[in-house]
């Protein structure tokens, strides 16, 4: 998601520093499923010789404002920046996980393949298409006996080493996203999951955040379990030249395929507020809301 036209800023050392800080903010902002059964043991895991095709559609709206001294505000005004800046973004991505026959030791070789990833962003009325370098990326590895995916190789013509590392880190974090309880669950039961995430960024310290999620088992109908979700995200990050505080809470629903032992639908709406201290007396205030719909077909 782009909030500002970076070309509006003059190429002075001061403005170059601001560009670096704003670029980090943009990355973060762009940048996170007839009989009724009595109880079920839930465990999100892949099975051998299957194909899991996942489509994710995200829609975001953001409003950005600056607080600063007279000089900073004057500079923004002279460069034609109208406050608050508003931005709307829509992105679509497809990933396919293909698993092979289990090995003798029980591990499951698998390949992740990213399809086309596109995003359309409208900032203050101007719409742009953004192509994603992760399009076409391939990750090769295997699931161990605990169904944890271990990356062996990452391929992608447009991927830098930093992007590859980010992809590996994200995959490892996502695997922990839903920690189902070991004991059977029945309708009305709840469980809580805390997932820390760390995303490396070239030129900056890693972004650290925590995702807190409460799952409520609403009903089980035939082969599907329906969950209601309450979610909270907290981020407190200090860099050498920038400090970011962010928090948000939202809700959603998820559907779990009992036969396949896999989460097949997930949607959430998450409003968030950010306060970015630019380190030069300027503060960027961001209000944003993101809606995510994720569906997985299993063959």
Per-residue confidence band for 112, with pLDDT thresholds at 50, 70 and 90:
very high
Cβ–Cβ under 8 Å, residues 95 and 138 = no
Provide the domain limits for residue 240. 6-298
How many domains in the chain? 1
167 assigned to some structural domain = yes
Statement: residue 33 has pLDDT above 80: no
For residue 22, the domain's CATH number is 2.30.230
Dump pLDDT digits (tens) for 36-78. Answer: 334 455 667 899 999 999 999 999 998 989 888 888 788 878 8
262 assigned to some structural domain = yes
Q: What is the mean pLDDT of residues 92-107?
A: 94
Statement: residue 12 has pLDDT above 70: no
Please give the model's pTM, rounded to 2 decimal places.
0.76
CA angle 232, 238, 240 (to 5 degrees): 160
Dump pLDDT digits (tens) for 204-232. Answer: 566 677 778 899 999 999 999 999 999 99
Q: What is the pLDDT of residue 4?
A: 34
Residues 6 or more apart whose Cβ sits within 8 Å of residue 215: 178, 190, 191, 192, 193, 227, 228, 229, 254
Ramachandran region, residue 76 (left: φ > 0; alpha: ψ -120 to 50; beta: rest): alpha
Statement: residue 18 has pLDDT above 60: no
Whole-angstrom distance, CA of residue 108 vs CA of residue 285:
46
Whole-angstrom distance, CA of residue 290 vs CA of residue 32:
10
Whats the size of the chain, residue-wise? 299
The residue to which tokens 């396949």 are assigned: 260
Dump pLDDT digits (tens) for 226-276. Answer: 999 999 987 766 555 567 788 889 999 999 999 999 999 999 998 988 888
- Start-to-end CA distance of the chain, whole Å, equals 33
142 assigned to some structural domain = yes
1 assigned to some structural domain = no
Statement: residue 21 has pLDDT above 90: no
């Amino acid at each position: 998601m782009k909030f500002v036209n970076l070309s509006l800023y003059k190429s002075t050392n001061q403005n170059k520093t601001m560009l670096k800080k704003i670029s980090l903010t943009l990355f973060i902002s762009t940048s996170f499923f007839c009989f009724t059964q009595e109880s079920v043991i839930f465990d999100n895991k892949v099975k051998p010789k299957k194909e899991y095709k996942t489509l994710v559609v995200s829609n975001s709206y953001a409003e950005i404002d600056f607080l600063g001294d007279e000089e900073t505000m004057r500079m923004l005004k002279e460069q034609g920046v109208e406050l608050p800046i508003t931005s709307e973004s829509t992105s679509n991505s497809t990933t396919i996980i293909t698993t092979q026959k289990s090995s003798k030791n029980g591990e499951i070789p698998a390949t992740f393949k990213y399809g086309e990833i596109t995003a359309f962003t409208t900032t203050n009325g101007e719409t742009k298409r953004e192509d994603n370098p992760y399009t076409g990326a391939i990750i090769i590895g295997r699931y161990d006996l605990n169904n944890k995916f271990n990356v062996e190789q990452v391929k992608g013509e447009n991927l830098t080493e930093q992007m590859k590392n980010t992809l590996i880190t994200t995959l490892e974090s996502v695997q922990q996203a839903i920690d189902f309880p070991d004991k059977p669950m029945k309708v009305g039961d709840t469980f809580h999951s805390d997932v820390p995430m760390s995303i490396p960024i070239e030129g900056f310290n890693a972004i650290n955040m925590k995702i807190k999620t409460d799952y409520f088992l609403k009903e089980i109908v035939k082969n599907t379990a329906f969950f209601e979700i309450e979610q909270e995200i907290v981020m407190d990050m200090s860099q050498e030249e920038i400090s970011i505080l962010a928090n948000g809470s939202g809700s959603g629903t998820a559907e779990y395929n009992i036969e396949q032992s896999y989460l097949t639908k997930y949607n959430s709406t998450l409003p968030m507020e950010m306060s970015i201290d630019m380190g030069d007396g300027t503060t960027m205030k961001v209000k944003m809301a993101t809606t995510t719909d994720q569906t997985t077909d299993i063959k």
